Structures are given as C-alpha cells and as structure tokens.
Amino acid sequence: MLLEDEKTPLQLKLEKLADTIGAFAKIGAFSIFCVLSFYWLVKTLVKGDTLVSQDSLMLILVNLEICVAILIVSVPEGLPLAISIAMAFSSDKLQDDHLLIKNLDSLETSGMLLDVMTGKTATLTEGKLEVTKLRVGDQAEGAVQPQINFKLMSTLEELIILNTDARMEICDEDCSYVPRGAPIEVGMLNFLVSNGVPVQDRLVGRERRYELCTMIPFSPYRRRSVVAYRTDEQTVRVVVKGAPEDVVPLCTEKLDGNCDKDNFSND
C-alpha cells in the first residue's frame, strides 16, 4: 500500500522522463542559440556591418525567443493527463470483467504483483454473505438455524425487514424473487427466505403499513444504521443495526429464547 506522500512507480518514471526531456531541451536550445549567434556574427563581419546596433539587438532577442519557445514546447504537459485517461479506460475495461479498481494508482502496479495480501479470513470472497451462527438469549453460538419459537422469529423478521436497504428482484432463471443489494443485507434476507418468510410480501407491507419518519444510514465512523417508523399515531418504532460492540452497550433489556424481556448486563 502506498503512503500519501509516496509516489507510484509510474510517477517516478514520468518524472525521470520529464527530467531527461528537459535536459535535452536545454542542451538543444543552447546549441541553437549558439549556432544562430555564430551565423549572425559571421554574416555581420563578412558584410562589414556594425556589431552593436538596433537591428543586431533585435536579432539577438529573436534568437532568445526561439530558444525559450523550444524550452516551453519541450515540457510534456499533456503526458500525465494522457496516462490518467489511459488508466481510466483500462479500469472501465476491467470492470467489464467484474474487476473493480477503486484507486488508479493500484492499476499501474497490478502488472507487477508478486504477493497478494488477503483479509483476516485469509480468503478472497465473492461478496456473498450468509448467516452461519445465531445467539439467542444466553444460548452460546451454535447451529446455523437453532430452535427459535414463532414469537421470537416474528420479532427478528420484523426487525430485519424494517431496517434493510436490500430489495427483491425476479430471477430470470426460475422467475422467483431473490435479494439484491449490499452483501450483508442480502445475507440477512436470505436467512429469512431459508426460514420460509415471504420477504417480498413483507417489504411491500412495510411501505403500506408504516410511515418512515427518519433514517440514518450506516457509516464506518458510526458503525450502525438507524430507522424510525411510525406504526400508529402515538407509536414510533426505532430499529438500530450495526456492530455488536457499538450497539450492545446502548441496550438496557434483552429478549430470551421465549421472547420475554430481561434486564441486560454488559458483562
């Protein structure tokens, strides 16, 4: 990973190329000025004209302008822009192959990869998440689908449906509804589908039964999302979803396996 003040290999090569072009431009400009000046001197001496005159000074200025123009034209100002445009087109081409390049600096070094660093799971995931363990009340994390009574499952279903940004789309293969959206949202909706919940009907019913009051989207700094729905004229339902270490300390009560309320202890 590159640091903020660290330059990429391509930037270093471009700087080296610019310095080389600048050096040759200086040598060329100085050589041209010397040749033009020597030609003017020989021509003046042959004709017997005065060396110091208004015409001679103007000619020297014209020669200097030519040399300065050569220096200005030699600077490759459009080269970095051309490289950026080329890498942008390359990233679009890779996106067609389902490879998303967020940082163009990583694109120029991808051709020299020797080692690949993966996440903490030591795997390269496909972005497909699923529920593998549940913790119900004081029950330790166990099976994929532990025994949950109907009342608790209904509560869990309602909380997931109320606070989700995912949607249901018709699959072309078998014309069934499948979740689409953020991987974690899709994983939770797939959990409901695997438990026989008609997710599409629940999402439609959410829009018809409840009035959305406010919504605070998830952010890496807050690490939780909040939605508030008005269920009736006097009741507002607030659902918070996020990282356990940020959400659990905010809780004062918990639900056990029988969906009964109990005092919550952070211990």
- pLDDT tens-digit profile of 148-160? 677 778 888 888 8
d(C-alpha 267, C-alpha 264), whole Å: 9
**Hey, what are 101's tokens?**
């390049």
**H helix intervals, the chain:** 9-47, 54-74, 78-96, 104-109, 150-162, 183-194, 199-209, 244-247
Q: Would you say 177 and 170 are in contact if contact means Cβ atoms under 8 Å apart?
A: yes
143: left (phi over 0), alpha (psi -120 to 50) or beta: beta
Give the homologous superfamily in CATH for domain 150-263.
Calcium-transporting ATPase, cytoplasmic domain N (3.40.1110.10)
Grouping H, G, I as helix, E, B as strand and the rest as coil, residue 209 is helix
- Please determine, for residue 112, whether its predicted confidence score (pLDDT) is greater than 70: no
Pick the residue with more confidence: 119 or 25?
25
- pLDDT of amino acid 2: 46
* Mean pLDDT within 3-14: 67
Query: Interior CA angle at 122 toward 116 and 127, to 5°?
Result: 90
High-pLDDT (> 90) share of the chain, %: 0
* Mean pLDDT within 137-158: 66
Kindly state the DSSP code that residue 143 receives in the 8-state scheme. -
User: For 235-247, what is each residue's pLDDT tens digit?
Assistant: 888 889 888 888 8
Strands 177-180 and 167-170: antiparallel
- pLDDT of amino acid 1: 45
Domain-wise residue ranges, the chain: 9-73, 150-263
- pLDDT of amino acid 118: 58
What distance lies between CA 15 and its chain's CA centroid? Answer: 27
- Please determine, for residue 248, whether its predicted confidence score (pLDDT) is greater than 70: yes
d(C-alpha 248, C-alpha 155), whole Å: 18
- pLDDT of amino acid 96: 75
d(C-alpha 183, C-alpha 170), whole Å: 17
pLDDT band (50, 70, 90) for residue 109: low
Residue 210: CB partners within 8 Å, gap ≥ 6?
162, 229, 230, 231, 237
User: Of 160, 158, 169, which is closest to residue 189 (Cα–Cα)?
Assistant: 160
Mean pLDDT for all residues in the chain: 76
**Hey, what are 216's tokens?**
């605070």
pLDDT band (50, 70, 90) for residue 123: low
Q: pTM of the predicted model, to two decimals?
A: 0.49
- pLDDT of amino acid 233: 79
SS3 percent helix, strand, coil of the chain, rounded to 5, is 50, 15, 40
- pLDDT of amino acid 147: 61
* Mean pLDDT within 5-16: 72
- Please determine, for residue 225, whether its predicted confidence score (pLDDT) is greater than 80: yes
User: For 57-98, what is each residue's pLDDT tens digit?
Assistant: 788 888 888 888 888 887 777 777 777 777 777 777 777 766
**H helix intervals, 127-266:** 150-162, 183-194, 199-209, 244-247
Pick the residue with more confidence: 98 or 204?
204
